[in-house]
Chains A and B, each alone.
Chain A
Amino acid sequence: SQQGEEDPQALSIQEGENATMNCSYKTSINNLQWYRQNSGRGLVHLILIRSNEREKHSGRLRVTLDTSKKSSSLLITASRAADTASYFCASEGSSNTGKLIFGQGTTLQVKP
């Protein structure tokens, strides 16, 4: 399968806690992106990290990338009930055509 893998598949935490999601991919990449999807809705881009970057921050989001292990993690700090959604990583290969390989996603539930 060309799909990436994410773990955990599902995560349930209390508001205020941190949530960490992991993603692995198979081939060399140009960049790796994280998207969020609310139930029944489209995907919203959260953050992009390039292959020559190791860590990136955006608000309460922190993304790391380890190209030697072909893995990435997304950390959401101080979670809120509104963060409840599915989170997908997507890797873009070196062809830079916009063809993204998505992981299976992590379903995050943040309890108020």
Chain B
Amino acid sequence: NAGVMQNPRHLVRRRGQEARLRCSPMKGHSHVYWYRQLPEEGLKFMVYLQKENIIDESGMPKERFSAEFPKEGPSILRIQQVVRGDSAAYFCASSPPSSGGARTGELFFGEGSRLTVL
């Protein structure tokens, strides 16, 4: 059973370019989360999605950042017009639903996508 798959693992972009980060949750998981980790810091919540729905985007910057989790395919975190301050590790996590459709406690994390903006 493959874990949470993220790609690319490393991405280099110049200021003003776009970055697209992909995440395939574990099989059977319907809840996807994106977190950002700056160097030497803990993770900060960005967004929580279920299939075709954004449930909580309270941690997303208001501009340039967007996320989706389509009916088919991976979840995508998109950063437009990147700036140096966007350089960070972006982690995707997933969790399975309980029998009632609500989520359980533990999150399963991918290995992260490390974005460097030159």
A interface residues with partner B (beta carbon < 8 Å): 3-4, 30-31, 33, 35, 41-45, 48, 50, 88, 90, 92, 96-105
Contacts and interface: CB of A to CB of B under 8 A. Distances in A.
Contacts of A41: 111-112
Contacts of A33: 105-107
* Chain B interface bracket (under 10, 10 to 19, 20 to 34, 35 or more): 20 to 34
A43 B56 contact: no
A48 B106 contact: yes
The 9 nearest A-B residue pairs measured at CB: A102-B42, A42-B109, A43-B109, A42-B111, A102-B43, A45-B106, A48-B105, A104-B42, A99-B45
Contacts of B43: 43, 88, 90, 100, 102
Interface of B: 4, 31, 33, 35, 41-45, 48, 55-56, 58-59, 91, 93, 95, 102-103, 105-112
B105 A92 contact: yes
A90 B109 CA distance: 13
B8 to A, nearest CB: 14
Contacts, number: 67
B7 to A, nearest CB: 13
Given A97-B55, A99-B45, A42 B110 contact: yes
A40 B93 CA distance: 16
Contact of B45 (A30, A88, A100): A100
A43 B102 contact: no
A10 to B, nearest CB: 11
18 contacts: A3-B44, A33-B107, A35-B109, A41-B112, A42-B4, A42-B109, A43-B93, A45-B108, A45-B109, A50-B105, A88-B43, A97-B48, A98-B107, A99-B45, A99-B59, A100-B35, A101-B45, A104-B41
Contact of A44 (B59, B103, B109): B109
Contacts of B4: 42
